[in-house]
A = this chain, B = another copy of it.
């Protein structure tokens, strides 16, 4: 099954896509099998169909440094084709039985040159994906900070003698930021959100934990 829905392929016009499809080879790899070695001539890029491909470099002391794990649907080595690099800077190995689609770099660039507009379409597509990933990363990082902040507030709340749902913490924001190694903007943003959700209340320099039903 060729990965024709991958943006690198899907953004080509139909005739070019068909000519390319005819030249895409599917390769099967057993667990541990090497697809290419570091410094091999880079004349193709790949899209993972099944399995996971590990990209790695060997360090001077013989150790292995994993550069990236490539999952199904993802491409690798395509950046080399665009910038015209001649050799793979990493080795590629199958983590388990895997299938990859091998796309000849020279033919791919030739087809792209025939229809410069597809270059723009692909640029638009990659731009959108970049923005999406930046947002996702922001979301995950903020969620993680939220968990750390609430864990810490709960621990502090447990140390106080008062019982009940409402626990007053005399924790200054300066101390909080230092203790949790937060960027000041991240802490402000989090406190703002928690206040608007009714999880905390601020009174002067103190933070009051109002309820503790955060689902994480």
Contact = CB atoms under 8 A, between A and B. Distances in A.
A185 to B, nearest CB: 9
Interface string A142-166: 0110011001000000000000000
A178 interface: no
A83 to B, nearest CB: 4
A137 B133 contact: yes
Contact of A138 (B69, B79, B84, B138): B69
A122 B144 CA distance: 33
A129 interface: yes
Interface stretch (A16-24, A113-121, A204-212): A113-121
Nearest to A117: B84
A123 B133 contact: no
A189 to B, nearest CB: 9
Nearest to A129: B130
Contact of A123 (B123, B141, B143, B147): B123
Contacts of A75: 127
A126 B137 contact: no
A3 to B, nearest CB: 16
The CB with the most chain B CB atoms within 10 A, among A124, A127, A140, is that of: A127
Interface of A: 68-69, 74-76, 78-84, 109, 112-113, 116, 119-131, 133-138, 140-141, 143-144, 147-148, 151, 216
